[in-house]
Amino acid sequence: MSSKRLNLLLVFGGRSGEHDVSVMSSRSVLQAINTKKYQVWQIGITRQGEWLTGNDPINAFENESYEDLNPAVLMNKGNALTLMQVKDETLHAITEIDVIFPVLHGTFGEDGTIQGYFEMLDVAYIGAGVLGSSLGMDKGMCKDLMSHLGIPVLEYKVFTRQAIATDIETTVLKAEKIAPYPLFVKPANLGSSVGISKAKNRQDLYKALELAARYDRRIIVERGINAREIEISVLGNENPIVSSPGEVIPGDEFYSYDDKYIDGVAKTMVPADLSEATIQRVQAIALQVYKSVDCAGMARVDFLIDKQTEELFFSEINTIPGFTPISMFPKLFAHDGISYPELIDRLIDLALERKADRDHTLRSAEI
């Protein structure tokens, strides 16, 4: 890396149920990043999808007060990405951008949509590409792939919003064939435990399906178990490394949104108290999952261990894991000796490495 400071664009917020988590994660990144190495610029995306920049966007978004911000535009000019803003009905160039850090959780941020936009802009960006993001985001598709690869997952079925809206009775009957209660009901394309319910009976299941359908058109229902929740962080492109495992100990019946971000009752154990054989197994599966979805940059891979049988199950992969003060992704690497600022450095280097690799791709046919 040259001595010149890189222009890093932090993109946060978004049109997602995880909007608030994204803002929290971005504040943590801003506090940790080495400003001697990077000049940080910001775009905040409102809940309605407006792209805004200006003086201290993160503070404006934390206070939901946007009047001092201006519409933001990204434009590829002369093979350089330029951040621009609309001010006094005129488009003004602010700076060229070297790399983008999308701290965007959930839909329109973690699902491949914005990654496709960044690919079109031909810019370096942190995290997985279109395929890895899309596969990792949809819990149903990801479980389908892992089942095909022989990676253990809990029994599940995917239902659509339309099926729930038009014939919820049949949907409930099909869901009850998955396994005895309890059943977990989740939006297939969301994280941070938004829209997730534990259904202990049929009445709960009706409510859970209706709630999840508010957040996504695809809803996953899976067998519920009394589980330990184990998480592994992964870092890298072609040759990724894995962290020590950590364990989440929920204060609620499961690791709910309130438990994570509001009540503050949940605890984390780093490292998790696991046998060496189990550690090696979860690390190996985490790497296999990461490579199977064509992930890049970073991810957190989550597992469930049945407390009664000690069976291990893959739960999900998060291609833009949380960066809040309680988030396991930075915590696990910090335990392994990679500080938060160094972790950001590595992610930026990996983004630039991935961009250099993409630049080797021919864009015209050689005859």
Query: For 121-146, how does the pLDDT look when each residue is reduced to its tens digit (9 = 90+)?
Result: 999 999 999 999 999 999 999 999 99
Q: Which residues contact 305 (CB under 8 A, 6 or more apart)?
A: 227, 228, 230, 278, 311, 312, 313
Domain definitions of the chain by residue range:
6-125, 135-152+226-357, 156-223
User: Quick one: average pLDDT of 216-245?
Assistant: 97
Q: Alpha carbon 221 to chain centroid distance?
A: 20
Fold for 135-152+226-357, please state it: D-amino Acid Aminotransferase; Chain A, domain 1 (3.30.470)
Instruction: Tally Cβ neighbours within 10 Å of residue 151.
Output: 16
* 156-223 maps to CATH 3.40.640.10: no
26-75 pLDDT, tens per residue? 999 999 999 999 999 999 999 999 999 999 999 999 999 999 999 999 99
User: Quick one: average pLDDT of 78-98?
Assistant: 93
Same fold, 6-125 and 135-152+226-357: no
277-296 pLDDT, tens per residue? 999 999 999 999 999 999 99
Please report which confidence band the pLDDT of residue 194 belongs to, taking 50, 70 and 90 as the band edges. Answer: confident
Q: Which residues contact 186 (CB under 8 A, 6 or more apart)?
A: 139, 195, 196, 212, 219, 220, 221, 222
pLDDT at 348: 98
User: Quick one: average pLDDT of 166-194?
Assistant: 91
Q: How far apart are CA 214 and CA 60, in angstroms?
A: 28
Q: What's the half-sphere exposure (Cβ side, CA atoms, 13 Å) at 66?
A: 16
pLDDT beyond 90 at 298 = yes
> pTM of the full predicted structure?
0.91
Percent of the chain whose predicted confidence (pLDDT) is above 90: 85
CATH annotation of 6-125? 3.40.50.20
